[in-house]
Amino acid sequence: MGVDGGRHLTFPAYIKDVAQGLLLALERGRPGEVYNICSQSLTHREVEQTIARLSGTSAFRLHAPGWVMIPFARLLTALGGALGREPHYVINMRPYIFGEWRISIAKARQELGFTPTPFEEGVRETLQWYADTGLWKPRKGRVDA
């Protein structure tokens, strides 16, 4: 389920980039500085469509307006607390889901030498990892190129 037609921005981070960024920050970073380690800013819709295309699944998502999803997230958060389980939509993610932040990696690139993995490549490698570990089976026997 999505929010507001998937129009809000997100800034995905590939796990190998996070590890690379942490190592580079330890080696070259300045104490107390913050470095953005992520791919390019994309809309949630762009993320959904890329994952659907590469995984061979439907890009169809139900999208509800934010004014519906915020009370729904509060309900799921309370229910998750009562059941001792993490809900899919937690209310503390509200600033992230509804944010319109364009994140710059310029400082990480300049000071650390950080180079992000292109989003599509990270998705492809992640899907391949899921397939290799048996957590997901590609429909055509491989991750689409």
The architecture CATH gives domain 2-132: 3-Layer(aba) Sandwich (3.40)
- Give the residue ranges of DSSP H helices in 8-118: 15-28, 44-55, 66-83, 94-97, 106-107
The token duo for 85 is: 């389980």
Domain coordinates in residue numbering, the chain: 2-132
The 10s digit of each residue's pLDDT in 83-114 is: 988 776 667 777 767 767 778 999 999 999 99
Three-state SS for 43? strand
Averaged pLDDT, 7-34: 93
Confidence (pTM) = 0.79
Place of tokens 């690139």: 109
Question: Measured between alpha carbons, how far is 59 from 127 in angstroms, rounded to an integer?
Answer: 16
62 and 2 Cβ atoms separated by less than 8 Å:
yes
- Coil, strand or helix at 2: strand
CA within 13 Å, CB half, 38: 15
- The model's pLDDT over 26-38, given as tens digits with 9 standing for 90+, comes to 999 999 999 999 8
